[in-house]
Structures are given as C-alpha cells and as structure tokens.
Amino acid sequence: MMNFTTTATFLATSNYADQVNSRYNKSQSHYVNVQQRIKQSLENKTFEKQIVQESVEEFQRRNPHITKWNDIVLCMPGITTLDKIVIDVTLQRILDTMWATQIVENFRQVAVAPINVYVDADMKDYYICWDGQHTSVALMIIAAQALGMKPEECEIPINIFPSNSKGEMREMFMGHNGAFKKQLEAFDFWEQMVFGVRTDGNTDNEEWNEVEQKQQWIESAKMFVTALKNGDTDQPGAITRLSEVMNDKYDTKVTYWFTKYFVSLNRSNRPVQPKECWMIYDYLQLCINDPNIKLTDAYVRSVAKALRTVGANDFDAEHFYDIAKQSYQNDYRTRSPYGNLWGISYSEKRIGHTFLIAQLQKAGVKTPIYPGTIVEWKITDRDLF
C-alpha cells in the first residue's frame, strides 16, 4: 500500500501530466487573436510579464523617433516576373545547385515563400534578391526547362524591403538565417507532429504517426514531453531529452517499454533525468536486438526493481554515473604502470552501459550482449550498489 506522500505525489503527477497532454486533444483548430495569445501566454507568469515590460522600455529607448505606427516602415508585398530578379553574388551564399534541384524534385507550391528583395539606385528596373536565391533558381528551372516558358511570362511573389543599403541587407540576410528567427526546437517538431495527426487528421506521414503513437504511450504513463522554455521541466513525469525519444535509430517500441519502466520505478513521480534517458533507451534497444531477451512487463519490472537500489528507492542516474566513473578510474590506476590516470579516456556511454549491465547482473537480471563493453575494466561487487 502506498503511503500518503507517495499517493499525493502520484496524484499531482497525474493531474499535471494530464493537464499538459490534454491540449493535444483538440479535434479541430482553435483560433485566438494576437492579444488573446499574449494574454494567455503571460497568465500567472510574473517573470515573463516583467521581461515584456523591459523590452517595451528598451524599444522606446532605442527608437525615440518612432512615436506613432506610421513612423514604422515595413516591407511591402509585391508581384514581379522572374526576369526582374537579379542576385548580387557578393551578398548571397554560394549557390548550392543540388539543394535547388531538391526543391524542383520535391516541389510543393504551398512551400514557396515570397522572394525577399530591395531596390538599388543603380538597378532601378530590377529587384535585388537578398534572401530566397535557391527558391528563385528552382522556379527558373521549372519555368524555363520543365515548362518551356520565358522568364518574363512567369509572375512570382516578392517582399520589397525599405532599404537600398547593401550593408543593411547583408545584416538582414544573416539575421533572417540565424539570429532574427527563433529556430524550431525538437519539442516544437514533436508538438507539430502530434497536432498534425490529431487535429489535422494527417496520417500519411509515417514519422508523424510514430510520434503520435509515442505520445499515447507517454500519456498513459502520466508523463509528458516538454522543453526548458515551457517552465515545467521540474514537474513529475517531464521528458526533456528528445535526442532518444525522437531518434529513429531506436525501435518505436523502446518508448513504450521506457514508459513501463518509469511507472514501475517510481510511478512517474519525478522528471526523467538526461543520463537516465540514454542509459535506459540504449539498454532497451540492446534487449530488442538480442534474440535471447524477451521484453515483457515482468522483465521491465525486474530492471526497475534492480535499479531502485541506486537512490532512495529510485534510480539516480547522475549519481550512478559518478560512481561508475570513479570505479573506472580506480580500476585504471591499478592497470597503469604509473599508478595514476595518465592516458585515460572517457567514453560516457561505454562507461555507463558497462556499469549498468554489471549492476543489473548483480541483481540477477538476464542482460543482453553489449558490444561496447569495456572488457579490461574489472568491476567488483564492492563497486556496485
């Protein structure tokens, strides 16, 4: 029977994970205006509200000349023809012809964004492309070679930026391909794939289907996928390391067995530790690869039970690895002709997996073959938990 503390923690885990995961259960799009989006995002977030206010004050300090909306000059949409686009080779990156041909081969009209251009006083009849070179080249190949048309017959969308300074455009080119855009994180891709299947009904993409299936298993275990920016990485059941969860080198079912392991280990009452993620994911993949190991609920429970000795009735992967490293160092000293650590090298995963397998074997768990075992490392029962 669980004690009160464990029960309370489990209920908190259940409630929070269910709350986070419930947002994926929208069968249709949900629309809010920009002001509502800001309000919802800042709700009960004092820190973020302060940062927003400070950003407003900094904007005002840096832009004293902007006192009304019409003082801001933004880019304007436009239409031109392919023959009017010119590329300044000193402003653009070297043309990657192979990438342009990939755009042609996998052409999707919805993926074509307007070409970013500006007008130069010396080239008044043309638009200087400062971003979108590969799109322009791909469209020219399609027009001239696939369709046999003249460039002046083919209209394309453009964004005309209010500058004629090459220096400023160079800054924009670098910024738009780096600092000015917040790049999508692994969590963002995960989120989009789940919404794509559940909300859009898009089941044609196998990768999306696999991610959505993993999401189901994670939900069932009262766990959830998140990222540092969400401010909940310390919540019970949080999975922040997606290097394994989204990596197709692992069998899809590894995620299923990982959630089974985590529930058996601690009822999902804490976040998943980063080292724990790769240690257990790799171990479960070894089990799947080994014909002498059959993954079952009972087997995964035996692994969890064996690892509870590492922490306070739980598995502390960070502490486990620290002890493994110390053991490896101590053994290395006994093998070194100098009795020290000169020449030692550390392969984190080999050290972790070798020690993990030894720990499980000590508990009587049947373990899979691990090709990376550090055979010269003599691990004794005294080294283990």
pLDDT tens string 336-357: 999 999 999 999 999 999 999 9
Mean pLDDT of 85-95: 86
User: Alpha-carbon distance 351 to 279, whole Å?
Assistant: 10
Residue 347's SS3 state is coil
The Cα–Cα gap between 69 and 309 comes to 64
Percent of the chain at pLDDT exceeding 70? 95
Q: How confident is the model at residue 219 (pLDDT cuts 50, 70, 90)?
A: very high
Mean pLDDT value across residues 69-94: 91
Query: DSSP states of 234-267 as a string?
Result: TSTTEE--HHHHT-TTS-THHHHHHHHHHHHHHT
List CB contacts of 278: < 8 A, sequence separation 6 or more. 241, 243, 244, 349, 352
Q: What is the pLDDT of residues 141-182, one digit of tens each?
A: 999 999 999 999 999 999 999 887 777 878 877 877 766 667
Mean pLDDT of 228-234: 92
**Higher pLDDT among residues 75 and 264, named by residue:** 264
- Residue 312: the pLDDT is 85
Residue indicated by tokens 């919540």? 235
Burial of 34 (0-12, 13-18, 19+ CB in 10 A): exposed
Give the model's confidence band at 60: pLDDT under 50 very low, under 70 low, under 90 confident, else very high: very high
Averaged pLDDT for residues 52-62: 94
Query: What is the model's pLDDT at position 1?
Result: 36
Most confident range, picked from 1-10, 93-102, 273-282: 273-282
Average pLDDT over residues 292-301: 98
Residue tagged 């490896």 (tokens): 328
pTM recorded for the entire structure: 0.77
What are the chain's domains? 74-176 (3.90.1530.10), 187-362 (no CATH)
**Is 308's pLDDT higher than 50?**
yes
- C-alpha distances out from residue 372 to 334, 354, 383, Å: 21, 8, 20
Bridge partners for 131 per DSSP: 116
Q: What percent of the chain has pLDDT over 90?
A: 77
Give the Cα-Cα-Cα angle 209, 181, 49 (nearest 5 degrees): 95
Sequence letter at residue 315: F
At residue 367, the pLDDT reads 98
11 pLDDT band, cuts 50/70/90, is low
Q: Is the pLDDT of residue 13 over 50?
A: yes
Average pLDDT for the chain: 91
pLDDT of amino acid 12: 56
Mean pLDDT of 263-288: 97
| Selection from 195, 264, 274 nearest residue 21 by Cα | 195
